[in-house]
Amino acid sequence: MALQTSFTIYASADELPADWDTLAKANIFLSRAYLGVLQTSAPANMECSFIGLFEGSTLRGIALAQYINISSINTYVENQSGFSLKHYLYKKFSSHVLIIGNNMLTGQNAYVLDADFPETEALKMLLKAQQELKRQYCKRCIYINLLTIKDFNSQELPDFKAAGYNGYFKFCTQPNMIFDIKPKWQDIEGYLPDLNTKYRTQYNRARKKAEGIEKRKLNAEEIEAHAACIQRLYLTVAGNASFNTFHLPEGHFKAFKDALGNDFLFYGYFIDGKLIGFNTLIKNGTDMDTYFLGYDDALQKEKMLYLNMLYDMVAYAIKKQFRHIIFARSAMEIKSSVGARAEEVYGLIKHTNPLINLFMGRLFQYFDPVITWKPRSPFKG
């Protein structure tokens, strides 16, 4: 006789079962350490919940849920003169979002399951858990507008229909940019000969522009000392994004360094002792995930700072023999110019108003920012 399945929702990472990390070893973004620091240093408009999936008393799956209140965020960063209908409608009817997954990352960071635990069964349980969370928020007079689960590539995309996700619309937004590291590369000098002439010239030009910049790995104390400048540089980049659902609080990066230690890397870029940019990386098994960055807008153009950061990430990941760099969404064209490929990612979304949900496919296309870009092919052959 099959054991009874159930789920438990935890409001705090401190409440997670002792064997949580046994499953989370497959993905640092579902580990107790990461979830704990995410909860304590989350954006002001975000709340995290953690879901344990059980068969009998045995933990068979773990998942992350996030509630986001978009009403206080300038979601669409675009040139607006006065009233914006899109902005108004989005906030009026889509402000309260409940996600199974991580809105701060790209990729399948929603859940991890035991190898022999049926995914369809897990998805059924997560659907029930999402509905339970919706009820809990309703008791607090928070009425969820959108239910979603994300991000899956085409190979990972589960059979949501078999799991009972009726009325959900499948969507695909900006792709995840992934850099595949060839085993033959031992350092950046091994990567460069595989570039065609145009992109080797781009590399050399960027490196020339970066002369005078000192790149330095920062520890927790140094991150804290530069906290105000880091926040200003981060907001410069966030302010240029086409679509925002949150802003990181000051102190976010120091908290991550404290919690994740050597798995979280913070690199500062300095001119004459002044911090003019930074980038962050998180080690996740054989993958290196890029996290948030910031820079001085004027110097970024003059020094080709962003492109140099990409080359630095490539150099580090090759040297340390990672298999992939997860460059995530945004700036697809420049990421493809260093060798990243685009991988389509999918999710499901449902509006809790049945009438609005009938038009979800059309509405999603209306609200989803259209980003036009041209893929680059930097490698020979």
Span 202-229, pLDDT tens digits: 999 999 999 999 999 999 999 999 999 9
For residue 158, give both structure tokens. Answer: 């589960």
Q: Hey, where are the domains in the chain?
A: 5-166, 177-342
Ramachandran quadrant class, 272 (left: phi over 0; alpha: psi -120 to 50; beta: rest): left
Cβ(149)–Cβ(126) below 8 Å: yes
Average pLDDT, the chain: 92
9-13, 286-290, 352-356, 361-365: the lowest-pLDDT one: 361-365
Domain 5-166: give its CATH code. Answer: 3.40.630
The string over 167-188, giving b where at least 16 C-beta atoms fall within 10 Å of a residue's C-beta and e elsewhere, is: ebbebebbbbbbbebeeebeee
Q: Residues 248-259: pLDDT tens digits?
A: 999 999 999 999
Specify the higher pLDDT residue, 87 or 241.
241
Distance CA 255, CA 376 (A): 36
Question: Is 131's pLDDT higher than 50?
Answer: yes
Check if the beta carbon of residue 37 is closer than 8 Å to that of residue 258. yes
In 70-121 the beta strands, taken as DSSP E runs, fall at: 96-100, 111-113
Provide the token pair at 296.
Answer: 């001085």
Give the strand pairing for 58-69 and 46-55: antiparallel
- Which H or E run contains 275? strand 274-284
Q: pLDDT-derived band of residue 80, with 50, 70 and 90 as boundaries?
A: very low
pLDDT digits (tens, 9 = 90+) for 144-154: 999 999 999 99
Of 42, 52, 25, 8, nearest to 251 by C-alpha is 42
Whether 262 and 28 have beta carbons less than 8 Å apart is answered as no
- Average pLDDT rounded to a whole number, residues 364-378: 82
- pLDDT for the residue 372: 86
Q: Flag whether pLDDT at 243 surpasses 80.
A: no
Q: Which residues of 273-310 are buried (b: 16+ CB within 10 A; e: fewer)?
A: eebbbbbbbbbbeebbbbbbbbbbeebbeebbbbbbbb
Domain 5-166 shares a fold with domain 177-342: yes
Confidence check: pLDDT of 344 > 80: yes
| pLDDT tens readout for residues 96-105 | 999 999 999 9
**Residue in 315, 120, 117, 101 with CA at minimum distance from that of residue 206:** 315
Quick one: pLDDT at residue 79? 43
Residue recorded with tokens 């990672």: 322
Cα–Cα distance, 256 to 237 (Å, whole number): 20
Q: What is the mean pLDDT of residues 175-199?
A: 97
pLDDT at position 321: 96
Which pLDDT score, from 0 to 100, does residue 328 have? 93
Could you tell me which of 49, 55, 47 has the C-alpha nearest to residue 7? 55
Averaged pLDDT for residues 113-137: 97
Nearest in space to 181 (alpha carbons), one of 280, 375, 325 = 325
Percent of the chain residues topping a pLDDT of 90? 85
Residue 72 per-residue DSSP state: G
Domain 177-342, CATH homologous superfamily name and number: Gcn5-related N-acetyltransferase (GNAT) (3.40.630.30)
> What is d(CA 226, CA 5) in angstroms, rounded to the nearest whole number?
48
Beta bridge partners of 31: none
For the whole model, what pTM was predicted?
0.92
Q: Secondary structure of 194-262 in the HEC alphabet? A: HECHHHHHHHHHHHHHCCCCEEEECCHHHHHHCHHHHHHHHHHHHHHCCECCCCCCCCHHHHHHHHHHH
CA distance 33 to 147: 26
pLDDT at 130 over 50: yes
pLDDT of residue 333: 97
